[in-house]
Structure 1
Amino acid sequence: MTRRTDEFVTVDGVELHYSAWGDPSDPPVVCVHGLSRVGRDFDPLARELREDYRVLCPDVQGRGLSEWAPEGAAGEWYAGSRLAGTLVGFFDELGIEAARYVGTSMGGQLGMGLAAGPLEDRITHLVMNDVGPAPADDEDAREGIDRLVDYLTDPPAFDRLTELEAYYRETYSTFSAMTDDEWRVFTVGSARRTANGGFAPAYDPRVVEPLLTEEIEADPWAAWAAIDVPTLVLKGERSDILADETFEEMRERRPEIETVVVDSGHAPSLNVPEQVEPIRELFER
């Protein structure tokens, strides 16, 4: 089966939605999205990989069709440590013993921690899409992080889906170029109905709370150095999240990694050959 299917799994009492592509008997690829995005962002990549891999693209809690946090629990549900635990549980519930991993932005940071820690024996290849170990500590990324927080905190609602699409096109203009069809799929896959029948982005606005309050105790650069699997870092040439200096330091600390700079801001959409082929080549190592 190579078409996309919608699947659900319960992890630690939380119902997660995920898109599944390809034959269940093929090697798995787990793709994890950015802070306010959804698993459907990987549709273009999954279409390219589905003949050879089982591609699984979850919506982490509070995003897409996955369960939102109860009242008063957002700080705990959406903390990075809880999201990482959710992904470990996702591997466990689906019986994934070994998988290739692709993470965009937040998903890349989660993958880095998992590949250096609880899933070090199960993540066989790692793709970090336009993110480094510690963007919050990077002065050159501060403007980009402030931009994210600004539009995440109070998402607008619209009467028409086409108005939400126009908003997405403007808000995510830093992404690499997408066709009209891709923008429509992007919008439909990440829209939710509001109480008054309108449309809003498909995430809980409270997902930003841990970004502003969570204290990270682990050293992210130590985690980066500890990863011992084939790794690819994709960088948007005009990224305001993965700064040039951080990108260079990532290469200096791990000179064996593969790196590709693409014509994009934050973040590459993984929808064109120059972005997809390096991922495929890494996975074949």
Structure 2
Amino acid sequence: MPRSDRFLTVDGTELHYADWGDPSDPPVLCVHGLSRNGRDFDPLARVLEDEYRVLCPDMPGRGWSEWADDPATLYGDAAMVETLVGFCDELGLETVRYVGTSMGGGLGMALAGGAMPDRISHLVVNDISPNPAEDATPAAMARIMEYVPDPPTFETVTAMEAYMRELYEGRFSGMSDEEWRRLTLTSARRTDDGRVTAAYDPRILEGEDSEDAPDPWDVWAVIDAELLIVRGTDSDILPAEPYERMLETQPDAETVEVDCGHAPSLNVPAQIEPIREFFAE
């Protein structure tokens, strides 16, 4: 079935999500990275939709989902975990397979190890450690803090595409010219003065979490779902040391390594087929 664009409201916030496949098939929930959106999973969803219903929400403040009046209350990890629980509740999803890229992977760990331990059967963690604030390289964190709060604006979409290539090429795994164009179009919005910029709220880093939140490594340790870790071999968000620690803590986790930085794009058979096979287990 073709992709459907749908909306639902969770705790007063309207969420947009791409809905692929037959609603009667087992659900797969795909959650994107920090400043990205659910359309990043188009290539994966096109393959999985023959067997699964694939749901790809835009998290609050991204894509076509509603922006927060107060970013502190909606953009923190704990709030986004609650949003995802509400999303699954609203759609009546009792058990899901889950794919999370970067931030989405961290949210998946929090769900599988805490908020929804009995509802996530399979968890794919794409290039993120349990505690990226401490595990990522200083250069990676500095890069995020520089570009996310102040996305540039452009006169044209083609100028934004050139910027996207400069920002992500060499970090994302390889994409065709057509894929770069799709990534740009699904990542863009017009500003009030008609310029083009990234389709997210620049305040997304202003979310706040409780100081008594559990240690994320403890959360990783108690996850009982089937696990698959996808990693870019040159990733500065999931360097070698925390990656090895993840495997030591969860020795039964399966792995896929991709020759790229942060993060594998999940857009080619070499990355998609291991996920499809993993979900069939």
Q: Secondary structure at the match of 2:256?
A: strand
The match for 1:117 among 109, 114, 119 is 114
C-alpha contact (below 8 Å) 1:155/1:201 kept by paired residues: yes
TM-score of the two chains, using structure 2 as the length reference: 0.97
Q: Say which of 126, 129, 135 aligns to 2:126.
A: 129
Residues 216 and 190 of structure 1, relative CA distance in 2, 3 Å threshold: farther
CA–CA distance in 1 between the matches of 2:120 and 2:82?
Answer: 15
**What letter matches 1:75 in structure 2?**
A
| Cα distance between partner residues in 1 of 2:126 and 2:166 | 21
* 1:68-79 mapped onto 2 (5 Å cutoff): 68-70=67-69, 73-79=70-76
Does 1:198 find its partner at 2:179? Answer: no
Percent of pairs with identical residues: 58
- The aligned amino acid for 2:197 is A
Aligned twin of 2:141: 145
Helix, strand or coil for the counterpart of 1:117?
helix
Once the two structures are superposed, what CA deviation does each residue of 1:3-43 show, in whole Å capped at 9, x if it has no partner? Answer: 11100000000000000111111110000000000000000
Quickly say closer, same or farther: Cα 1:216–1:104, change in 2 above 3 A: farther
Q: How does 1:240-259 map to 2 (within 5 A)?
A: 240-259=236-255
- Which position in structure 1 is the counterpart of 2:33? 34
TM-score normalized with structure 1 length: 0.96
In 2, Cα distance between equivalents of 1:93 and 1:23: 18
Match of 1:100 in 2: 97
Q: Is the 8 A contact 1:136 1:142 kept in 2?
A: no
Q: Aligned partners of 2:126 and 2:63: how far apart in 1?
A: 20
**1:216 CA displacement:** 6.4
User: Residue type matched to 1:233 in 2?
Assistant: I
Q: How does 1:172-251 map to 2 (within 5 A)?
A: 172-173=168-169, 174-210=171-207, 215=211, 217-251=213-247
CA contact (8 A) 1:79 1:214 kept: no
Query: CA offset at residue 217 of structure 1?
Result: 2.4
For residues 132-171 of structure 1, give each alpha carbon's deviation from its aligned partner in whole angstroms, at most 9, with x where no partner exists.
Answer: 1011112x52211211121101101111111111111111
Distance (Å, rounded) in 2 between the aligned partners of 1:216 and 1:46: 36
Specify every segment of 5 or more residues in structure 2 that has no aligned partner in the other structure, as ranges: none
> Is 1:280 the equivalent of 2:280?
no
- Provide the rounded CA distance (Å) in 2 between the counterparts of 1:151 and 1:210: 17
SS in 2 for 1:205: coil
Figure out how many residues of one structure are paired with residues of the other and give that number.
280
What is the distance in 2 between the residues matched to 1:98 and 1:18? Answer: 18
Deviations 1:244-281 (A, max 9, x none): 00000111111100011111110000001111111111
CA 1:164–1:256 in structure 2 vs 1: closer, same or farther (change >3 Å)?
same
Contact 2:127–2:231 (CA under 8 A) maintained in structure 1:
yes
Corresponding residue for 1:3? 2
- Where 1:241 maps in the other structure, the secondary structure is coil
Which residue in the other structure is 1:20 paired with? Answer: 19
Q: One-letter code of the match for 1:255?
A: P
Report the Cα offset of residue 215 of structure 1: 4.4
Contact 2:74 2:207 in 1 (8 A): no
Show structure 1 runs of 4+ deviating over 3 A. 213-216
Two-structure CA RMSD over aligned residues (Å): 1.2
